[in-house]
Amino acid sequence: MAKTKPKVSPLAPEAFPTIPPIDGVRVATRACGVRYKGRTDVLLVELADETQAAGVFTKSLTASAPVDWCRKSLPGGIANGLVVNSGNANAFTGRLGEDAVEQVVEAVADRLACRPSRVFAASTGVIGEPLNFKSITDNLDALAADLAPGKWDEAAKAIMTTDTFPKGAVKEAQINGTKVTIAGIAKGSGMIAPDMATMLAYVFTDAKIPAPVLQGILAPICERTFNSITVDSDTSTSDSLMLFATGAAGNADRFSGPDDAALKDFRTKAEAVMRDLAHQIVRDGEGASKFIEITVTGADSDAAAKRIGLSIANSPLVKTAIAGEDANWGRIVMAVGKAGEKAERDRLNIAIGGITIASNGLAVDGYDEAPVTAHMQSPEINIAVDVGVGNGRATVWTCDLTHGYIDINADYRS
């Protein structure tokens, strides 16, 4: 059952970014031996009183016990703690799983002197095995004693599973003339491989924004970032994205709603942080050798454009062609056709690396192949498709499908 430990993805950023502490957030990590040996596997985060919380969770109908817990607690809108373990997903563990979450969350609430419903949780790792929650609760005193500002790289490392590098991102923004910081960490390397991967992302800000407004900001950004990436079309039982606002920056916080003009810069920068994290997950895609951006225009609606984009991004035939550095637009046409959305065959345009290779339903006779070939050999591939029926548009990101994916996911026992 042992997985070959992959080296760092060739598409990884050069280094973990420098991220300043966020006022109102303290972090601790520890090697608790939930499953892994010799590495940290529990992250504890303490959040200031009245920290506002927003979240988006997996659409899987077999969600994990901690996801069920978070969904139940989110309407309260306030978070004082977050506890995440790697090594065990606490999914498909039935009644035992619910108990384990309650045990962990209550023990954390005790240390942070808050209500359990203000403690959020996540677990990522093998599924179907009972979570040894005592390995976590036995270490909570030590974790609580270690709480300190900053340490984002440690936090990002503690939640890794099959990830080959820790993922972080940061931006500053202005709200009503006050500077705020938005910092995030994430993990994920298959869109999900439920026995070892899952998508988790936590974004922290010192901005003062009420929970309902925060949720209204988070949901559409999630659609355009984390919900616009795919590695292998598989969906985890544990996917979680949360945004916590401590309010320590003390900005003026009367907002008409999530679309308030005073929040424009915050929305832009928060999206930049989440897009960066989402891209890093794709860059750590299992076996990935190419980062692929697919933009679909001319669709019936933005949602239709996204479905067409994901149909292209999830096609094994498109992904293997790109792995082979083959500008195989025939497979792109096929993926457009199978998406089930309106497309006008005789108005379809396809460009690769900025060069139009199919236009108005026909291969472009004698297009300049040299720059397309050069583009296909680079690690960043750009595909633009116009389906010729409307104004809908969307951009999605994926990686190629290589022998590395099979190596990581086919556990040859024989």
- In the region spanning residues 335 to 364, those forming contacts with a second copy, defined by CB under 8 A, are 335-343, 345-346, 348, 358, 360-363
Inter-helix orientation angle 264-283/211-224, to 10°: 40
**Is residue 164 a contact partner of residue 203, using CB atoms and an 8 Å limit?**
no
Which residue among 34, 74, 122, 192 contacts a second copy (CB under 8 A)? 192
Contact between 39 and a second copy by CB under 8 A: the answer reads no
Q: Smallest distance from the beta carbon of 104 to a second copy, in angstroms?
A: 19
**Is residue 64 a contact partner of residue 89, using CB atoms and an 8 Å limit?**
yes
Phi/psi at 247 (5° precision): 80, 0
Contact between 4 and a second copy by CB under 8 A: the answer reads no
CA dihedral over 333, 337, 343, 345, signed as positive or negative: positive
Q: Smallest distance from the beta carbon of 352 to a second copy, in angstroms?
A: 13
Part of the chain binding a second copy (CB under 8 A), chosen from 73-81, 145-153, 175-183, 403-411: 403-411
Contact between 213 and a second copy by CB under 8 A: the answer reads no
Output the six-digit token pair for 136. Answer: 């976590």
Q: Smallest distance from the beta carbon of 93 to a second copy, in angstroms?
A: 7
Q: Between the CA atoms of 46, 50, 56 and 62, what dihedral angle is there, to the nearest 10 degrees?
A: 70
- The residue type at 17: P
Which residue among 237, 280, 297, 349 contacts a second copy (CB under 8 A)? 237
DSSP string, 26-88: EEEEE---SS-SSS--EEEEEE-TT-EEEEEE---TT--HHHHHHHHHGGG-B-SEEEEEEEE
Residue 205 or 315 having the CB closest to a second copy? 315
Q: What's the rounded Cα separation, in Å, for the pair 83 and 140?
A: 10
Do β-strands 200-205 and 240-245 pair in parallel, antiparallel, or remain unpaired?
Answer: parallel
Q: Smallest distance from the beta carbon of 31 to a second copy, in angstroms?
A: 24
Contact between 377 and a second copy by CB under 8 A: the answer reads yes
Output the six-digit token pair for 18. Answer: 């420098």
Cβ neighbour number for residue 289 with a 10 Å cutoff: 18
Contact between 401 and a second copy by CB under 8 A: the answer reads yes
Q: What's the rounded Cα separation, in Å, for the pair 127 and 195?
A: 6
Part of the chain binding a second copy (CB under 8 A), chosen from 157-165, 168-176, 254-262, 314-322: 314-322
Residue 206 or 341 having the CB closest to a second copy? 341
Active site residues: 198
Residue 61 or 113 having the CB closest to a second copy? 61
Part of the chain binding a second copy (CB under 8 A), chosen from 69-77, 217-225, 255-263, 321-329: 321-329
Q: Smallest distance from the beta carbon of 340 to a second copy, in angstroms?
A: 7
**Is residue 210 a contact partner of residue 255, using CB atoms and an 8 Å limit?**
yes
Q: Smallest distance from the beta carbon of 409 to a second copy, in angstroms?
A: 4
Residue 82 or 339 having the CB closest to a second copy? 339
Inter-helix orientation angle 302-314/316-323, to 10°: 60
Q: What's the rounded Cα separation, in Å, for the pair 189 and 196?
A: 9
Residue 214 or 296 having the CB closest to a second copy? 296
Contact between 223 and a second copy by CB under 8 A: the answer reads no
Number of residues this chain uses to bind a second copy (CB under 8 A): 75
Part of the chain binding a second copy (CB under 8 A), chosen from 17-25, 115-123, 155-163, 327-335: 327-335
Cβ neighbors of 290 (< 8 A, separation 6 or more) are: 11, 322, 323, 379, 380, 381, 399, 400
Question: How many degrees, rounded to 5, is the angle at CA 319 between CA 349 and CA 372?
Answer: 50
Which residue among 10, 75, 94, 250 contacts a second copy (CB under 8 A)? 94
Contact between 36 and a second copy by CB under 8 A: the answer reads no
Site for a second copy in 98-137 (CB under 8 A): 126-129
Residue 166 or 285 having the CB closest to a second copy? 285
Site for a second copy in 160-179 (CB under 8 A): none
Contact between 145 and a second copy by CB under 8 A: the answer reads no
Contact between 190 and a second copy by CB under 8 A: the answer reads yes
Q: Smallest distance from the beta carbon of 91 to a second copy, in angstroms?
A: 7
Contact between 316 and a second copy by CB under 8 A: the answer reads yes
* 3-class state of residue 8 by DSSP: coil
Contact between 372 and a second copy by CB under 8 A: the answer reads no
Contact between 405 and a second copy by CB under 8 A: the answer reads yes
Q: What's the rounded Cα separation, in Å, for the pair 255 and 216?
A: 12
